[in-house]
Amino acid sequence: MFELCEMNDTQRLECMHIFNRIIEEGETYPWDEPLTEQVLADVWKPREPVWGAVDADGTVLGFAHIHPNGFGRTGHIANCGYAVDGTTRGMGIGKALVAKSIDVAREMGFKGIQFNAVVATNTVAVKLYESFGFSIIGTIPGGFRLGNNDTPTYVDRHIMYLEL
């Protein structure tokens, strides 16, 4: 069982560790180097909401963050990111985080949510987003390099969008 709550500074560090394990997997996020605390501060600025799923002990199981996808005349579209610890996948955490992010985006006055880099081979995420009404509005052939080995494999990357 888990509950959703806004992350405090200590929990944001836990989020960074979860995120770094996902970066090491090399399957879903473009970073190829672990995040540092400085990058964490730059990526998840204090004004940008970061919330997570925590268990009864307060351990972070997964998290989401939201920010404008662009600036100025394009700042009315949100971008969200999600990460669920590998040991807790399949518990409905991702679904709860996506639902919460849609609500938060509406509350913040965004007119839509755009994902810029949904890896096509991440079929669980694609199906999850589509279940909430997101559509694939474009595909970049070979737009994502999988893994962390010497022989790269390139797969498609989707741009997905939900009008709010």
Q: What is the pTM of this model?
A: 0.92
Q: Give pLDDT, residue 9.
A: 82
List pLDDT tens digits, range 45-56: 666 788 999 999
Determine the pLDDT at residue 150: 78
Average pLDDT, the chain: 92
Tokens of 19: 């995120």
50 contact partners, CB below 8 Å, separation of at least 6:
6, 7, 12, 15, 44, 63, 64, 65
The DSSP symbol for 86 reads: G
Q: How far apart are CA 79 and CA 65, in angstroms?
A: 8
Q: Sheet holding 153-163: strands in order across?
A: 3-6, 50-54, 60-68, 77-84, 112-119, 153-163, 135-146
CA dihedral 21, 27, 28, 31 (to 10 degrees): 60
Domain containing residue 139: 3-163
Return the higher-pLDDT residue of 20 and 12: 20
CATH number at residue 30: 3.40.630.30
Angle at 97 between CA 39 and CA 12, to 5 degrees: 30
User: How many structural domains comprise the chain?
Assistant: 1
